[in-house]
Structure 1
């Protein structure tokens, strides 16, 4: 018994050393893929991988040093991704792959990639979806662009939908790059299973406001910039119309909107809801609300029925 007890500290040290060695091998012997780029053309597929160099502390999700970019092409998506992985210095790891960049957010492309992720593990279904505008060759040629791309990806992530949500309507942020910089474009792409609609900066902010997304929304009302840091949307279904009420809390140092500014915002909300309805998008989930209330939401199906009459009211808290 005494001999067994004397070996316990030694065994504990050996186990600790083995765990540290395993964790170090996990973080330094693999190329940590942080983002995947996909594009489809008549010739085939184009894939790009934004990855963390093995010598960096790539097991930290917030690390941004030594980022690089590789690209490849293939007749199929799987072959293109495989060719990109072969260009990495070491075996690809998608454990920290938090983003998916798309030249065009087309539903067949997203479905194909999601199935490939589930079958092959070349990504994560929780990855954030973003649209990309720029020549992919520049990301590999310019050493400073990969780090700049990661910084913008992190900035846009809070409002970007995830891959597993691609069958639901979602507003995708748009990143663009030149030979010198990467920037987050104003506006966004409203993605649906039917198609995509480009929203202006004002429309994108109103959409995020109506869907109660986090962050401060900046809107120009009556020529004055108004910041809204919190908004609660209430919906009341009536026989003849739908009542929509927005209770907003302005951002710090933002002026209290006038009655005319509140009416302008209400008109913008109504116009966006009507425009999305015509595209088959039920932003406020009226069909689901009606189904919960009446047991059927057939009369609020945007693919079959005209947009219901909307009355939007906007109110700002005094504090």
Structure 2
């Protein structure tokens, strides 16, 4: 038998643990989905890629067919599934894409993504403030349960306390990489499929020389910065737009280079920084920042 067509050597098929998959019933519950995701995302990258993809499709074939499994058959199945489910066309399977291949009850992963339809970190920070009620920098297990129940309610769905607990445990297994029973803001971004933005003030390297620029250059840069944070194009920074601007300014001063999602140990510092900044620079005390007030802030910092 040619090397390319010989039967694959035996190894432990992870999917055989799930009889429903073996019977062709690919719809599984949240907890089982979490276990499968953790197994094939072996490097905790947030994707199933490279070796994990080959293992997943080999296991899927071995679980659902009695036919001889060859490398060519695995590759054919992989190409077929990736063409249909790899929405990003990046040669990897994201968690939302796996939820299409192995749908969960209530399709709970995709439900989170579609219900809120968040597109930016400004919107995420608004949602975050709603559920991080004690401003701890984390959503705890209890807060996560309320978050999930709220999202389900918006779709006219209710679940039992037992089912809600199952969802919470599934979410924590998938996204709580450090196993502390909490979700950070960065982990919540992954849950809602939001890509963190770079700190605009850090990537705008000219800001470090703001004071040394000519008047025209300073004005041009100030407009660029203001327009970036004025997501609603209202002519003012308000609400979560101020939060994101202040967070980036705080990190710029510390030259941290972190992404825009607050880490737990800095959130309270950012709140204090915001209070001080608004007290001195919100000249008309309307709780918003105009272009002239942003220019005043940049001049100070």
The TM-score normalised by the length of structure 2 is 0.29
The TM-score normalised by the length of structure 1 is 0.28
Relative to total residues, which structure has the larger strand share, 1 or 2? 1
Relative to total residues, which structure has the larger helix share, 1 or 2? 2
Q: Which has the higher contact order (CA 8 A, sep 6+)?
A: 2
